[in-house]
Amino acid sequence: SAVISQKPSRDICQRGTSLTIQCQVDSQVTMMFWYRQQPGQSLTLIATANQGSEATYESGFVIDKFPISRPNLTFSTLTVSNMSPEDSSIYLCSVVMGSSGANVLTFGAGSRLTVL
Amino acid sequence: DAKTTQPNSMESNEEEPVHLPCNHSTISGTDYIHWYRQLPSQGPEYVIHGLTSNVNNRMASLAIAEDRKSSTLILHRATLRDAAVYYCILRRTSYGKLTFGQGTILTVHP
């Protein structure tokens, strides 16, 4: 399975600022996803990062707030823009190799953001 | 996406088997049944998946009902390290993404 490196692992941010999270994979992958996990909650899919084109966002998430880039098959970034305390969450990158429903997802360790 | 229903929490004693149930009555023919778990302070990790037949791997077994409307994840001998949130998820071929429910919090007592 793929090995995922997420940076930063944690950060404390000020209200109104933006932070970019990086996801680097050690091999080429078919699909990359970004999830959010709010305190004490399950994971919520933010978007699918598409190589060379705009990400596909889930209901409730918009590009202006969570711009995503994926310049190649091994790297993606998620920016959390104009942060507020409600954005305090763990943000996780996930990847899958292959396009079958049998293909499993591998998750990064997550980036824990605290917004003051 | 088809929905899954799991108990909020379950408890087990160390060294005993654990059966984690999942109902998915609206499953479609192309949905794979995936199980992931999330240990404290970690990202989710893959446990097992199946389509129609029961599956075994080094971590667990997956028993799938004949009508596929339910499944059970079996941990044969629970250890303290198995304490985690276990997610049962249906994944379709054409979409690729995983939609997480609330999962089952498994507590393992020494």
Q: Nearest by CB to B98, from A30, A102, A105: name it.
A: A105
Residues of B in contact with A3 (CB under 8 A): none
Residue B95's pLDDT is 59
Reading the block at residue B18, the tokens are: 């654990």
Residues of chain A below pLDDT 50 = none
Q: Nearest by CB to B100, from A30, A42, A104: name it.
A: A42
CB within 8 Å: A99 and B46: no
The residues facing B63 across adjacent strands are B72
Residue A104's pLDDT is 85
Mean pLDDT by 10 residues, chain B (110 residues): 88 97 92 93 93 93 96 97 95 73 95
Q: Write out the H or E segment, with its range, that includes residue B107.
A: strand B104-109
Residue A53's pLDDT is 87
Q: What residues have CB less than 8 Å from B11, skipping those under 6 apart?
A: B106, B107, B108, B109
Residues of B in contact with A9 (CB under 8 A): none
Residue A32's pLDDT is 93
Q: Nearest by CB to A101, from B46, B91, B100: name it.
A: B91
CB distance A108 to B43 below 8 Å: yes
Residue B12's pLDDT is 96
Residue A15's pLDDT is 97
Give the whole-angstrom CA distance, residue A92 versus residue A70.
Answer: 15
Q: What is the pairing mode between strands B9-13 and B104-109? A: parallel
Residues of A in contact with B51 (CB under 8 A): 102
Residue B93's pLDDT is 64
The identity of residue A74, as a single letter, is T
Residue A5's pLDDT is 95
**Chain B window 23-82: which residues touch A at a Cβ cutoff of 8 Å?**
30-32, 34, 36, 42-46, 49, 51
Give the whole-angstrom CA distance, residue B88 versus residue B36.
Answer: 7
Residues of B in contact with A108 (CB under 8 A): 43
Residue B96's pLDDT is 66
